[in-house]
Amino acid sequence: MTLNDKQNGGKRPGSGRKVGSGLYRENTTVMRVPDSQKPIILSFLDAYAKKQRLDEIANHLDRVGEFTQLAQASEALHLPLYQSKVPAGLPAPADSDEASRMDPNGYLIDDPSSTFFVTIQGESMIEAGLIPGDKAIVNKKKQAAIGDIVLAMVDGAFTIKILAKQKNGDPKLLPANSSGQYAPILIQGQMQFSVWGVVTGSFRRF
């Protein structure tokens, strides 16, 4: 063994970057390319890296579908709202006295000009009361805060999750499903990320 070997120690088994942990999630190689084609190749590699990231988190993304704008403003509905609470167990006599009247549009929608709907797909948010087929109400002007349920875009795909923060301050998206099927989505430097609105409620038709 030479003195240089003793000082440097040589290459240790298992050292270096782990396979699949790089930008492209696979081994890379060095090659020469024409200067004129460099922007095109870099653009292609950027798109390829985004696809690799999206494929990696696809099982945890639970994309939403069917964006729907609010219909033309209609007349307010003032329907009876009875005072008695209705149990989900034993039946109770109906209360004949109306406590007030309620407009369901006003109850569900804070700002009609900033509101749209999306259809829930997947079960990543079932413990927040959002199940497949529900219409989530999204307010695009409400400022998102940590702990809010948000409609976010991750590398070109939409998803609804709880907005949280990583230890380094970067955002992360949390599911509301304790089955272990859905993992948090950690937003990293190379990823495109934006919040499109805050989910303020939902509704479904039986």
- Nearest Cα to 176, choosing from 139, 156, 155, 202? 202
In which region does residue 156 sit, left (phi positive, over 0), alpha (psi from -120 to 50) or beta (all else)? Answer: left
**Catalytic, out of 15, 18, 85, 124:** 124
**Catalytic, out of 50, 51, 141, 161:** 161
To the query of whether residue 124 is one of the catalytic residues in this protein, the response is yes
Instruction: Residue 198: count other Cβ atoms within 10 Å of its Cβ.
Output: 19
Distance CA 149, CA 11 (A): 48
| C-alpha to C-alpha distances, 169 to 7, 111, 164, 165, 205, nearest whole angstrom | 39, 30, 9, 6, 39
| C-alpha to C-alpha distances, 62 to 161, 173, 181, nearest whole angstrom | 9, 11, 11
Q: What is the largest CA-CA distance in the chain?
A: 97
To the query of whether residue 202 is one of the catalytic residues in this protein, the response is no
Which residues are the active-site residues?
124, 161
